[in-house]
Amino acid sequence: MGDDDGRKMRQSAIGRTARLATLPVGFAGRTTIGVGKRLVGRPANVVLTEVQARTADQIFKVLGELKGGAMKFGQAMSIFESALPDELAGPYRDALTKLQDSAPPMSVRMLTSVMAEELGIDWRTRFADFDTTPVASASIGQVHRATWADGTDVAVKVQYPGAAKALRSDLKQVARMARLFTVLAPGLDIKPLLAEVEARVAEELDYTLEAASQSVFAAEFADDPDFVVPAVIEHTSRVLVSTWMDSEASLSQVIKDGTPQQRDHFGGLYARFLVSGPTRTGLLHADPHPGNFRIRSDGRLGIVDYGAVARLPEGFPRPLGELLARGIAGDWDAVVDGLREEGFLLPRTVFTPSDLGDYLGPFLDAGRAASFSFTRSWLRAQTVRVATPSQENLSRAFKLNLPPEYMLIHRVWLGGFGVLCQLEATVEFRALLEEYVPGFEPV
């Protein structure tokens, strides 16, 4: 890499830090203005909405311009968009879709340098054709369309130079402003989300691990009537070559303007892929944002990006299925005992069955009936119900613990529900639980 590229990378890092640094300053200014308006008689809820709107606008604008950890965190945050009230969610839906699907590309000079380092100085001889203009960009890399030497159409995922350093730097910056994001979703605890993202950074940076996970999924879903997983052709730690998968758009487009039939069809496939994955492969695809799910003209759902996975060789933990079944049956005494046994309730924590049922029961709605309509209004109602600052809610929240082995499962279920609510899809979710979650017996 030349001196010019190195200088640009350093300047980019400085600029990235500077842009992130503008967030808390802007928030402080908006909050001060908000207090001033309240003093002259503006209703508190109106002022809060204004502050939320301006804060959201700046947060997603800045995160959307960044690669590395800031954009990755923005992608994780964007799945909570459906929990925002209409007056906030509407204006940002387009911005969130762009955040999930794109990022600024690296220069051609930088690209060729990475390819030479990973595949050798004669790397172009491995390809019959290689388009240096990326077709997609993500948080730590970008994708190019190419033709392998044997004529196979391929997608080439190339990691940004300095991605590891950028990830760690951005996440450290974002951690310092965690309270900003609670403006968008009051009551949401950002710190565990940040910790989980940080814990997976090392794995996602190693494309060798991603290639291994993708190969497992590709073998299991080969010739599947509903799903398409690209096969791995070649890989290094920073370059991943897979078979090209034609698609019309990502699931984000269905969220934006899909028909009711499209929402139900692709929402059902999306839910089935996530829930069936551990049983079929021993792995859970742990990056559920819509940009990773591609809409194909033949009605199948294509799935990309296997950098984040949870290794579940026995499928979902059996106690999880048992807890879900007992909760749906209303046996909250058994749920309390099960949560304590699994570490969700610490030994000295007291949570009465009736209070736990009131708190968690509505979240099990999707498993109660033969089919369930996921809606933004349902998710917002649950968010408001448990996240409204009150002594009762704070007491309940502090009683629940999240064991590390359930962290990625929690992320996928929470994120998956968020996407299904964005889709407003009606899904036969109970049947998925019965078929693929050990311990979930029909009630």
pLDDT grade, residue 218 (50/70/90)?
A: very high
- Among 171-175, 338-342, 372-376, the range scoring the smallest mean pLDDT is 171-175
- Using only C-alpha atoms, what is the Rg of the chain? 23
- Among 69-83, 353-367, 379-393, the range scoring the smallest mean pLDDT is 69-83
Residue of 18 and 136 predicted with greater confidence: 136
- Output the pLDDT for position 279: 97
pLDDT grade, residue 411 (50/70/90)?
A: confident
- pLDDT tens readout for residues 249-282: 999 999 999 999 999 999 999 999 999 999 999 9
Q: With 90 as the cut, is the pLDDT of residue 429 above it?
A: yes
- pLDDT tens readout for residues 114-158: 999 999 999 999 999 999 999 987 668 899 999 999 999 999 999
Q: With 90 as the cut, is the pLDDT of residue 96 above it?
A: no
pLDDT grade, residue 12 (50/70/90)?
A: low
- Output the pLDDT for position 92: 46
- Output the pLDDT for position 408: 84
- Among 14-23, 127-136, 170-179, the range scoring the smallest mean pLDDT is 14-23
- Among 9-13, 151-155, 405-409, the range scoring the smallest mean pLDDT is 9-13
Q: With 60 as the cut, is the pLDDT of residue 75 above it?
A: no
Strand 227-228 relative to strand 301-303: parallel, antiparallel, unpaired?
Answer: parallel
Q: With 60 as the cut, is the pLDDT of residue 342 above it?
A: yes
238-265: burial string, b at 16+ Cβ within 10 Å, e else:
bbbbbbbbebebbbbbbbeebeeebbbb
Of the spans 4-18, 95-109, 328-342, which averages the highest pLDDT?
A: 328-342
Per cent of the chain over pLDDT 90 is 51
- pLDDT tens readout for residues 27-49: 444 343 333 443 344 433 433 34
- Output the pLDDT for position 211: 97
- Output the pLDDT for position 207: 94
- Output the pLDDT for position 58: 60
- Output the pLDDT for position 18: 52
- pLDDT tens readout for residues 369-394: 999 999 999 988 887 787 665 667 65
- Output the pLDDT for position 100: 44
Q: With 60 as the cut, is the pLDDT of residue 95 above it?
A: no
Q: With 70 as the cut, is the pLDDT of residue 329 above it?
A: yes
